[in-house]
Every structure is written in structure tokens, then in C-alpha cells.
Amino acid sequence: MLSFRRDGDLARLDEVLPAVRGQGMNPGMTIEAAVRAVPQGGAARPLKALAERILIIGLDGATFDVLDPLIQAGRMPALGEFLRDGVCGVLHSTKPPITPAAWTTFMTGKGPGRHGIIDFEKYHVATHELTFNSTYEIREKTLWEHLSDKGLKVGSVHVPMTYPPRPVNGFMISGFETPSIDADFTYPPELKREILRRIPDYNYRTNWRRRLLGGLAMLRENLAYIQRSFEQGVELVKLCGEMYGWDVLMIVYKLVDNLQHKTWKYLDPRFNRRYPRQAQMAAECFMRLDENLAKLFEYARRHRATVLIMSDHGHGSLDGKAQPNLLLHAWGYLALRSPLDRASQRAGHWLHRLNKGKASRFEQGSRGIERDLAVDWSRTRACVMHAGIYGFLYLNVRGRGPNGVVDPQDYHALRDEIAERLRGVTATDPAGKEFRVFPEVYKTDELYGCSRADYPDLPDLLLAPRPGLAVIRKIRGRSPVRWCPPGRLEGTHRAEGVLALGGPNVRRGLRIEADIVDIAPTTLAALGLRVPVDMEGRVLGQAFTVAPTVEREPPVKKVAEERAEVYTEDERRLLEKRLSELGYLE
Ligand SMILES: [Zn+2]
């Protein structure tokens, strides 16, 4: 069952890397044999390059469900022309389809079970603590590191999961998880001063401002802020691109996702006719995006660069929230402390604050699950500890962390039992149709082909809700699904994102379907570089007029650096606010 282990395990290559079939490797080979079979080292670009340079444009959360109608209405002419002239199609996201997991899969060419990022938060089984992930938690080398090692120049602007920025051969400006401009958000560090000098309004605020009776003026202000971020992206690309030079340059427009989260009812054709003015304003935001895409296309043309547009996941309506902890509680797997007990804990918390000035985090429960849910660990066998579209369920196993109660011998039976019960849960949607709330419940080691022994902080089960639902860890009300009222409809993620390629050596008018894990190997092969044998994706050779030569090279292990969470108490609060606004951490 555990098909890939890191050190000397003779896993068969075809079990762990189905994607390499037909790409120069013999599927029956062990990883070790495959590594021995590939040529060693080599010059910067040992193979024929199909792309002289690559400009990657990331549109966080982009979906053809929004883009196609805008293109058909002539509102995004630059993107429309780009899609017609090149290759495009659906890009499937990771499981879960969430920003940190998906962009890290893009960057490493490996799944979440390998790189270790499944959510914004990381749950520590040994302490019940939750911390925010950062670049230090990425357990595999990124594309930026691979390219830098091979002597190519890279630039990365606003890619999520790049804070704190790491050294590269080029430059890196960290993404939206950067606390503020007070933080060191660039590599090299001195680039920060230049950015603040040249772009005085540069900042990391992403808050969707609210004011009672703010109305259209408030919406206009929020949209203007997003439009300004589109312009700033182009400014940063040109400024830093010219300062440092580049072979691969990437910019991510994160606020496309925020825009859709917040204005979905103005974008969704099922509802937006009720809000003609708001719908027009949201559409104008995409028109401004298109104008800035046109500038990026022109910049790429001047540099003879191939352009790759991609999203990390798609988007759709947030119809409701699924509450697995409510079910676990009702079934007796999860116990909550009594209200009296909770009141005394809160009193203790305030007494502690009065005495010390500040709560010292977990001992007072402020950064654990207890903040949202008064778990009685001594009577709890299973709990969803954090959630990001999917729910991440952990068993409270004896010996793993404090107050473990599940006998390790009962682990597999209990996990099977809970998975089965969750898969069987049905609910009735507002239209009266019955459906399964969690159509897929995955065992993490089986889904990712990894070992929980290698990475004990991975969840035991991943709960995938029906599309349109997002899992929360809190318990509110008595129903396993809380429906969102249509008048307050927001957006949430879908698995189906977007991919498009254009420029030199790219085929015209081809429709393809790909997986986000394919982008790193495709980028390397297009540049005439060998692909590490342990990258999981396949090279999208059909996207080019001549198929690129695909050769594999030995995997390069990352030397992990142990480091505690990088965020300070205040920075953590900022990040919590930013993510809560988009419906996370609930
Ligand atoms: Zn995203």
C-alpha cells in the first residue's frame, strides 16, 4: 500500500510514477535502476529547447465558467485571441483544490503527500497545535531551485507559498501570505527598497472593505483596489525583469480568486441579472485584467518568450458548508466539554492575560482547535482539525499526542468505519434533491502514495465534499450542511481550473486537458532541461509543434531546514483576518 519511500526502498517505478510511462523509462524499473539509467549532470540546456524563455501568468482560481462568457461578449479580447491562437483547456487542481496545496504542487511537480502542504494551516499531532505553513514547510525542491541550480535566471512575483522568499538565481517577491511590507518580502533583500521607492502604494492588504450601507461606492472602492493590483503586477514584471534578466518569469494574480469569492453572485449567470450594475462593475474588473494581460503578452513577444497561463483551481458558487464534526459528535467519536467547563477555561484565559499581558498561545488554547471547538480529548477518538474546502480528519491515537485514546491496534478498523459512515451521509439540497455530502473520503496514504510514518502530521482521512460545499471545523446549528442564502451567495473553489499556452513553437487551436502537476516537468522539458525522475507529472508534449525531448535525471533531494513558525503573534492575526475573509479557518 505504501508505494514510495524515500531511502533505498525498491518501489516499482510504475506504481509510483505512472506518468513516466512512454517517456523513456521502463515501467518495471525500480527508482534506483531508473536513476542509474539516466545520464548524469550536463550543461545548462542539454536538450533541444522549444522555448527560449517562458513567462508564466498565474490567475488564482480562474475558471472558464467566468472567462468564456466575458470573452464571447468581447470583453476580454486579448485573452480571447490568445486562447484561439494557442493551446488551452481545463487544468485539474490538487486534492484538495486549495491555493497553498495547488501552487506548491505546481512549484515542485509533486503531490501534497510529497511536498507536505495540504492547507494554509499545519496541524501538529504531537501538540494539537495549528501553525501557518511557509516556505520552510515545503519538503521538496521547487522549480525555482531546480532552474537556479541549472544556471537559469528566474523571477517569481506573488506566487502563493513563497514567503519568506528563498534564495534563487534571480529574484523573488513573496505572495499574499506575506504579513505586510514591514516583512522581508524579497530576494535579494535590497529589492524591497527599490520596489517601495518605485511603487509607493505597494502593499499586501487584501481586505475586502465593508461598511454598513457602503453600497455601490464601497464595491467600486474594493474593485478599484483589485484593478490596481493588476497594474502593479505588470509594473513589477517589467521593473524586476529588466533589472535581473530572466529565463523563466512568473506573476500570479491572487486577487482574481478574492474577486470571485466576494462577487460570485455578480459573475454567476444564474443570479447576476438581478444585479445589473454590480455585474457590470465586476465584469469591468476582468476587462482591466485583460488590458494588463495584453501588456504582458506584448512584453513576452519582445523577449521571444512562450507564455503559459494557468490557475491553481477553478471557482464556482459556495452553496453551503459541510460540518463533519457535527456528525462525529452525534455518532460519539468526538466529545465536547461542558459549557461550565468552557466558561472556566475562558476565565482562566483572561486571568492568564491579565497576569502575563499576553496569552502564551496553545497552553490557553488560542492556537489549537480549542479556539473553535471545545474538544474533550480524553473522550475523543476522531476530529476534523482543520479544513480548506476538504476536511482534514485525525484519529486521536494513543502515543501520538497528548491524551490519545485510540489503541493503535484499532487504528485501521476505526478509520475504515468512520470513512464508511461519512461516505453514507446524505442531505437534501434546497431544490429537494438528496445527495451524498462526502462523495469521496480518502485515506491520505492511499491517495498520495506516501507514508504517514514519513510525515506523521498528515491527516488520517481527507473528506471531499460535493462540489459547491466547503467543509468547516466549527459546529453551528444541528444540520450537517448549512446552506448559504442566495442573497448572500459567495464563491468557492472547484477542481477544474484553466490552462493556456501561446507563442513560439506552440500549436494553434489545440484543446487539451492536463493536471497541475504536469506544469513543472513541461516547463523543464520545453526549456531543454532534463526532468527529475521523481516528478509526478507528465510533459505536455502535444502542446508543441515538435514534441520536446523528454529525458529524466536523478532526483535531487532537498536538505530540509528545521524552523519554527515564521509568523509573529501580530503577523498571525493579520493572516487569520485575511484568510477568514475568504471563508477559511472556520
Ligand atoms: Zn487559489
CATH 3.40.720.10 residue ranges for the chain: 53-318+490-581
The span from the CA of 559 to the CA of 536, in Å, is 20
Residue type, 159: V
The rounded Å distance from CA 311 to ligand 1 centre is 7
CA of residue 102 to ligand 1 center, whole Å: 7
* E strands in 399-536: 426-428, 434-436, 440-443, 461-464, 469-471, 481-483, 490-494, 496-502, 510-515, 531-532
Ligand 1 centroid, distance to 99 Cα (angstroms):
4
Q: Are 437 and 163 in contact (CB under 8 A)?
A: no
Q: How far is the CA of 204 from the centre of ligand 1 (A)?
A: 16
The Cβ of residue 583 has, within 10 Å, a number of other Cβ atoms equal to 20
How many angstroms separate the CA atoms of 542 and 446, rounded?
A: 30
Could you tell me the distance, in angstroms and rounded to a whole number, from the CA of residue 219 to the centre of ligand 1? 22
**CA–CA separation, 377 and 365 (whole Å):** 13
pLDDT in single tens digits along all 586 residues of the chain: 233 333 333 333 444 343 343 344 444 555 455 545 544 444 467 788 999 999 999 999 999 999 999 999 999 999 999 999 999 999 999 999 999 999 999 999 999 999 999 999 999 999 888 999 999 999 999 999 999 999 999 999 999 999 999 999 999 999 999 999 999 999 999 999 999 999 999 999 877 877 766 789 999 999 999 999 999 999 999 999 999 999 999 999 999 999 999 999 999 988 899 999 999 999 999 999 999 999 999 999 999 999 999 999 999 999 999 999 999 999 999 999 877 666 666 666 566 555 554 444 333 344 556 667 889 999 999 999 999 999 999 999 999 988 999 999 999 999 999 999 999 999 999 999 999 999 999 999 999 998 888 888 999 999 999 999 999 999 999 999 999 987 788 999 999 999 999 999 999 999 999 999 999 999 999 999 999 999 999 999 999 999 999 999 999 888 777 778 899 989 998 998 889 888 888 8
CA distance 580 to 576: 6
Question: From ligand 1's centre to the CA of 405, what distance in Å?
Answer: 36
Going from the Cα of 497 to the center of ligand 1, the distance in angstroms, rounded, reads 10
Look at residues 332, 316, 346, 367 and name the one whose alpha carbon lies nearest to residue 131. 367
| Contacts by 196-199, CB closer than 8 A, 24 or more apart | 198/235, 198/239, 199/232, 199/235, 199/236, 199/239
CB 240 within 8 Å of CB 301: no
Q: Measure 542 CA to ligand 1 centroid, in angstroms.
A: 27
Ligand 1 mean position, distance from CA 279 (Å): 22
Q: What is the pLDDT of residue 352?
A: 57
Could you tell me the maximum CA-CA distance found in the chain, to the nearest angstrom?
71
Ligand 1 centroid, distance to 255 Cα (angstroms):
9
Strand-strand pairing, 129-132 and 121-124: antiparallel
User: How many Å lie between the centroid of ligand 1 and the Cα of residue 232?
Assistant: 19
DSSP assignment of 58-86 equals EETT--HHHHHHHHHTTS-HHHHHHHHHS
Q: Provide the whole-model pTM.
A: 0.90
* Ligand 1 center to 407 CA (angstroms): 38
Beta-sheet strands, E only, within 374-468: 382-388, 390-395, 426-428, 434-436, 440-443, 461-464
Could you tell me the distance, in angstroms and rounded to a whole number, from the CA of residue 159 to the centre of ligand 1?
Answer: 10
Distance 266 CA to ligand 1 centre (A): 19
Cα-trace Rg, the chain: 24
Ligand 1 geometric centre to CA of 202 (Å): 21
Q: Give the residue among 109, 77, 98 at the shortest CA–CA distance from 514.
A: 109
CATH superfamily of 53-318+490-581: Alkaline Phosphatase, subunit A (3.40.720.10)
> Does a cis peptide bond (omega within 30 degrees of 0) precede residue 465?
no
pLDDT at 316: 97
Going from the Cα of 375 to the center of ligand 1, the distance in angstroms, rounded, reads 30
- Give the Å distance between the CA of 109 and the centre of ligand 1: 17
Place of cell 486579448: 78
Distance 256 CA to ligand 1 centre (A): 9
Ligand 1: distance of its center to the CA of 9 in Å?
34
**Cβ–Cβ under 8 Å, residues 471 and 138:** no
Ligand 1 centroid distance, CA of 98 (Å): 6
Distance 284 CA to ligand 1 centre (A): 21
Q: How far apart are CA 494 and CA 205, in angstroms?
A: 25
Distance 348 CA to ligand 1 centre (A): 38
Distance 93 CA to ligand 1 centre (A): 10
Looking at residue 5, its pLDDT comes to 32
Cα 100 to middle of ligand 1, angstroms: 7
Q: Is 193 helix (H, G, I), strand (E, B) or coil?
A: helix
Please list, residue by residue across 194-206, b when 16 or more beta carbons sit within 10 angstroms of its beta carbon and e when fewer do.
ebeeeeeebebeb
User: 258 C-alpha vs ligand 1 centroid, how far in Å?
Assistant: 9
Cα(181) to centroid(ligand 1), Å: 22
- How many angstroms is it from 252 CA to the middle of ligand 1? 10
Instruction: Say how many Å lie between the CA of residue 462 and the centre of ligand 1.
Output: 19
pLDDT for the residue 343: 65
Q: How far is the CA of 79 from the centre of ligand 1 (A)?
A: 20
**Residue 10 CB neighbours (<10 A):** 9
Three cell numbers, residue 354: 491579565
CA of 276 to the centre of ligand 1 (A): 27
In this structure, the number of other CB atoms found within 10 A of the CB of residue 182 comes to 10
CA distance 119 to 121: 5
Which residues make up the CATH 3.30.1360 domain(s) of the chain? 321-336+373-480
Q: What is the pLDDT of residue 340?
A: 64
497553498: which residue's cell?
Answer: 100
Output the nine-digit C-alpha cell for 565: 513558525
- Output b/e per residue, 294-318; b: 16+ Cβ within 10 A: bbbbebbeeeebbbbbbbbbbbbbb
With H, G, I as helix, E, B as strand and everything else as coil, classify residue 169.
coil
Cα–Cα nearest to 299, from 241, 243, 254:
241
- All three cell numbers of 239: 521593473
48 Cα–ligand 1 center, Å: 33
Query: 296 and 232 in contact (C-beta within 8 Å)?
Result: no
Q: Can you say how many angstroms the Cα of residue 481 is from the centroid of all Cα atoms in its chain?
A: 24
Q: What is the CATH number of domain 321-336+373-480?
A: 3.30.1360
Cell of 277: 450594475
User: What is residue 367's predicted lDDT score, i.e. its pLDDT?
Assistant: 56
Distance 280 CA to ligand 1 centre (A): 24
